[in-house]
Amino acid sequence: MKLKEKVAIITGAGQGIGREYARRLAKEGAHVIVADLNMDKAIQVANEIKELNLKASAIQVDVSNEQSTIDMAKQIEKQYGKIDILINNAAIFSTIKMKKMEEISGGEWDSVLDVNLKGIFLCCKAVVPIMKKQNYGRIINISSAAVYLGRPDYIHYVASKAGVLGFTGALSREIGEFNITVNSITPGPTYTEIPRETVSEIQKKELLKIQSIKKLQEPSDLSGVVVFLCTDDASFITGQTFNVDGGMTV
Ligand code: NAI
């Protein structure tokens, strides 16, 4: 158990990859807070984890709403006395519509940037003061390999995820003195229980050609790296990005 007694928030953990992060951190002994806009799904994932005799609870949050992130952080601090780990995983992703740049409205651009980039800023802003008081924290921001591939047809998404990398480096400099590390990972296309528009069956075959490891990526291929970054073994790693993509972006 590498994360015994740690309190960990995982945003967007009501489904998909976040659900796997929550399960994996719980298996390592953390009390995981499944934080999602969709409270029914968050409760379902927390219950799945509790059925394994592991520790979890659910909380509703809209990461793009400042008051909602403040309320989340306050409630967790009040209930558990601390917040050790923040995994900023929530994003508009599986529901995104693939479109050319000229077809993306200003409103669509704003909503993707509001959740995927501003949402990370707001969650950090709410949680970092608590981590500073503890003189301890681990923050992991989920970006995407799409940043390096220049993937067309969802440039608002790609732009939001590129912003996450700049944010990670800059924040790591600001809060390193408080023993808080901030890192990001860039997963390659990862197959979850949620179908999505962004990768077709043909693209799946193409992916295997460009990945060094000839297997479609699954959430469990990512969660070990996230756990590692939360452990004391990674205490001297900060401001870094880990490409976890089967060698696609070499
Ligand atoms: P998903 O779309 O299946 O799940 C996203 C979760 O975020 C959902 O539970 C949703 O309810 C929640 N969410 C959306 N807006 C929210 C808000 N305003 N506040 C709180 N929660 C909100 O995504 P998936 O596939 O699980 O991806 C997880 C993360 O990994 C995302 O950051 C995504 O961009 C990133 N990623 C995913 C890849 C993939 O191929 N699945 C590849 C690279 C990165």
Count the Cβ atoms, other than its own, within 10 Å of residue 233: 11
8 Å CB contact between 119 and 72: no
Q: What's the pLDDT score for residue 200?
A: 76
* Alpha carbon distance 228, 178 (integer Å): 20
Q: What's the pLDDT score for residue 197?
A: 72
pTM of the complete model: 0.98
Q: Which of 11, 4, 2, 241 lies closest to 126 in space, CA to CA?
A: 11
Q: What's the pLDDT score for residue 202?
A: 81
Q: Whose CA is nearest to atom 2 of ligand 1?
A: 94
Question: What's the gap in Å between 177 CA and the centre of ligand 1?
Answer: 30
8 Å CB contact between 99 and 153: yes
Q: Which domains does the chain have, with CATH numbers?
A: 7-244 (3.40.50.720)
Q: Whose CA is nearest to atom 18 of ligand 1?
A: 62
Does the CB atom of residue 12 touch ligand 1 within 6 A?
yes
Q: Walk across the sheet containing 31-36 and list its strands.
A: 56-60, 31-36, 7-11, 85-88, 137-142, 180-187, 241-244
Question: What's the gap in Å between 142 CA and the centre of ligand 1?
Answer: 9
Question: What's the gap in Å between 17 CA and the centre of ligand 1?
Answer: 7
Closest ligand 1 atom to Cα of 114 = 18
Q: What's the pLDDT score for residue 195?
A: 81
Q: Which of 33, 27, 30, 13 lies closest to 77 in space, CA to CA?
A: 33
| ipTM for this model | 0.99
Which residues are part of the catalytic machinery? 157
Per-residue pLDDT of the chain (250 residues; tens, 9 = 90+): 999 999 999 999 999 999 999 999 999 999 999 999 999 999 999 999 999 999 999 999 999 999 999 999 999 999 999 999 999 999 999 999 899 999 999 999 999 999 999 999 999 999 999 999 999 999 999 999 999 998 899 999 999 999 999 999 999 999 999 999 999 999 999 999 988 776 777 888 888 999 999 999 999 999 999 999 999 999 999 999 999 999 999 9
* Alpha carbon distance 84, 102 (integer Å): 42
DSSP 114-150: IIIIIHHHHHHHHHHHHHHHHT-EEEEEE--THHHHT
